[in-house]
Structure formats: structure tokens, C-alpha cells
Amino acid sequence: MAAATEPQSKYRSPLTARYPSEEMSYIFSDRNKFQTWRQLWINLAKGEKELGLAITEGQIAEMEGVLTDIDWDRAAAEEKSRRHDVMAHVHTFGAAAPSAAPIIHLGATSCYVGDNTDLLVMRDALKVINRKLAQCCHKMADFATEHKDLPTLGFTHYQPAQLTTVGKRACLWLQELLLDLANCEYQLESMRFRGVKGTTGTQASFLELFNGDHSKVEKLDELVTEMSGFKSSFIITGQTYTRKVDALIVNALSGIGSTVTKFCTDLRLLANLKEMEEPFGKNQIGSSAMPYKRNPMRSERCCSLARHLIGLVASPAHTAAGQWLERSLDDTANRRIVIAEAFLTADILLNTLENILEGIVVYPAIIAKRISEELPFMATENIMMAMVQEGGDRQVCHEKLRQLSIEAGAKVKVEGLQNDLLERVQADPYFMPVHEKLGDIVNPENFIGRAPQQVEKFINTEVEPAIEKYKEYFTAAPELAV
């Protein structure tokens, strides 16, 4: 029998340990970060060589040959000695590519690799988020279409209101997801590279390297930006790109937290009513004490994690507000926590939401039962209109229905019995002219307005065009851990 794995003796974030998302975890990993630093140094050297600096093909080839071969022990020792992470990796890279050591990081400041890497990481992470948002929109749209005609009791103030349909209600959730997708797409499309700007953003060091040739400095910025996969860079920076970018992106991610919380809270309420449920595994246990429990674990997890995501919004806003002049170093420790956690949390939320949507359960019989309990009261106006069409007096009919409604309400509230208003109307000779029409009058499908048509129009004109470009990524929902 294999020995049990011993628990970790150091704290590990639940975002990567308990709720793993391999793709997003890698994007924010040290491996990806420091490998990207090396690629940026290579891009800088290539650009400087192309514009005439004394850099050889051999030096660039040597750097490219050890791009992924990072001596982690040496890097840690260098950082411990030098107390500077960028210079630790400059020296570690230089030791691996000795012929290139003299030209690595030439003219650059730490933010050349630090800030540009952060932008590259957030760009790649946003692409993942947008893809998963589109996937959730796709699955929610399928659910809404399937149930567009299924009447259900609507609620305002969590009190019974006019009927809607299960599909129309799903479109309320879907609309918020679609807004999140549009917002995150906008943030992605608006992203710009920091580029090659120097210590206070003036590009003075590069102007010195190129003997005062402004055109070459501008061209270097363009070349490195293009090699790094961006269409443009900021014209104006201090030592860093504006931290307003971080605040805007984290704010967009927090919107996902709000959307997922709204959906999962509604689902938890509907689960209590036994109208809808999230998937529940064959061997899943809802409670250690109560065997019958089917706790909405996935939805509760989403609400819990989303609370954390929404709460992260304040930090990047304070960071952006608190930058002194051309820069302050009180941003870095905060940013390395907040930005990664915002993306990791949003990613986990979307994975879980997709898992829920893959197996969400609807109980039409319970929904119909609840409608039957409330619809008679809602149908009184329709009954009254039908009586007037048959020659009845509207005011007399109103009073008759009011009295019968009070009697039926007392049966429900005081005695705990079923709503028998329709039976009372059927038994009252006054309503004889509409007795044969009562079945049609109280048909739930007559109370859902244009809900089915709204679902179709919304999905066809807004949802499908928005997610069309992501369809190649649509797959089965991921398995959840724990």
C-alpha cells in the first residue's frame, strides 16, 4: 500500500493548491516570468543590433540557446547577495551566455523586463479569461434556448410576481456575462506595451547609445514592441507604465465576480425551492450529519471566491493613486499578489460556472406546481376581462373576485391548504359565462408575454455574434478538484 502524501509544511495559496487551474497558474509562474525576462532581453539585443549597435549574431544565438535553461539555485544566490531580482537574473543569464553578458540589459532599467513582462502576462491571461467567458456564454445560451418556452413563477423582492420563463431568466444571467466579455475584450484590445523607455521614461539612455539619433530610439521602441506581440506602446511613461492599467483590468475581472455571484445566488435560492439544482455527483455528500442534504457546493464556492475577487478592486486603485512622481516602489509587493490573485480567482470562477452549466438540472413538475399555487390570484384580472366581454359589470366582478380571493388566501395561509380560488370561481353561478373558458384563461403560456421571442432575439442578435470567434475553443466543461 502506497504511503500517504505528507501535507505541505509551508502555506500554499488555495488558488493554486485547492482549486487548481493549470493554464492560468503557469501564466503567473516564476518559470513563465523569468523566461519572459530573457526573451525581452533577446528582443532588446536584436533591436539594438538591427539599428547598428555592436552586437553579434553569435551573442544573440547564445542567449536564445539558453532561453529556458535557468539556473534557479544561482539566481536565488545572486538575489540573496545583490538584493535585486532583475540584476540577479542579468548575472545568471550572463553566466549561461558569457559572450552576451556585456550587452544583456543594455540601456534598460528594471522596469523594461518587469513592467513589460507584467503586460505580456496580463495580455495572455485576458485571452484565457475571454475564451472562458465566451464558453460560459455559449452554454448559458444553449440552456436559455432549451427552456425559452418553460413558464416559471417570476419573483420581485423574492415575492411571487408575474410569470416569466426559465430561458428568459437565464438570459438575465447571460446578459451580464456578455457585458463582462465585452469589458474584458475592451481591456485586452486597449493594452499597450511599456516598451523601451529608460529610467524615468525619457529614453535618455537609449538616446546616448545611438549618439543622439531620435529616429533610432523611436525605431527601437517599435521593433521591441512588435517582437513582443503588441501593436503599440505607451508614448508617455514614467519609469513604469501607468498603474491605472492594472486598476482598469482588475475592475473588469471583478465584474465577473459580481456576475457569477448573482447567478449562483439565484441558483441557491431556486435550489431551496427545488426548481433548479447544480450538478450533484453520484457519491457526493452534502452534509456529514444530514444524509439527505444536497448542498449547492459549487455555487457556494463561487460566491465565496467571488467575494475575494470583488474585494481586490481597492488595492490597484490605491496603488494607482499612490504613485509618487515618476515612480515609487511601494507598488511591487502589492501588485504581485493582487494581479495574480485576480486572474486566478476569475479563472477558477469561470471553470466552476462552466461545470455548473454543463450539468444544471431543472424540475418542471415542481415549477408547474408552484405556478398552480400562485397563478389563480394573478389570473383574476384576466377572468374579470373575460366576464366583461360576456356582458358582466366590471365593478361587480371585481368585488366578487376580491371576496373569493380572501377566502382562498385564508385557506392557504391559515390552514396550509392548496389554493382553491379557481374551484371557488368554478362553483359560483355568477361566473357561469366563463366556466368553460377558465382552463384557457389560466394557461401559464398566456402569462409569459414575449419571453420566448425575447430569448430568441437576444441570442441571435447579441450573443451569437459576440461569441462566434471563440467557437473553436468550445469544449466539455472541466472537471473540478475537491
DSSP string across 298-355: HHHHHHHHHHHHHHTTHHHHHHHHT--TT--GGGHHHHHHHHHHHHHHHHHHHHHHHH
Count of other CB atoms within 10 angstroms of residue 263: 25
Distance CA(177)–CA(156), nearest Å, equals 21
Write down the catalytic residue from 157, 233, 299, 435: 157
Side-chain-side CA neighbours of 104 within 13 Å: the count stands at 26
Instruction: Map grid coordinates 454543463 to a residue.
Output: 358
318 is catalytic: no
Q: What share of the chain is helix, strand, coil (3-state, %, to 5)?
A: 70, 5, 30
- Can you tell me whether residue 160 is helix, strand or coil? strand
d(CA 35, CA 362): 48
- 138 catalytic? Reply is no
Q: What sections of 2-68 are H helices per DSSP?
A: 14-17, 22-27, 30-50, 57-65
The answer to whether the CB of 144 falls within 8 A of the CB of 171 is yes
Give the SS3 label for residue 79. helix
Angle at 472 between CA 468 and CA 473, to 5 degrees: 105
Q: How do beta strands 276-277 and 361-362 pair? A: antiparallel
Catalytic site residue from 287, 315, 398, 435: 287
Residues designated catalytic: 157, 287
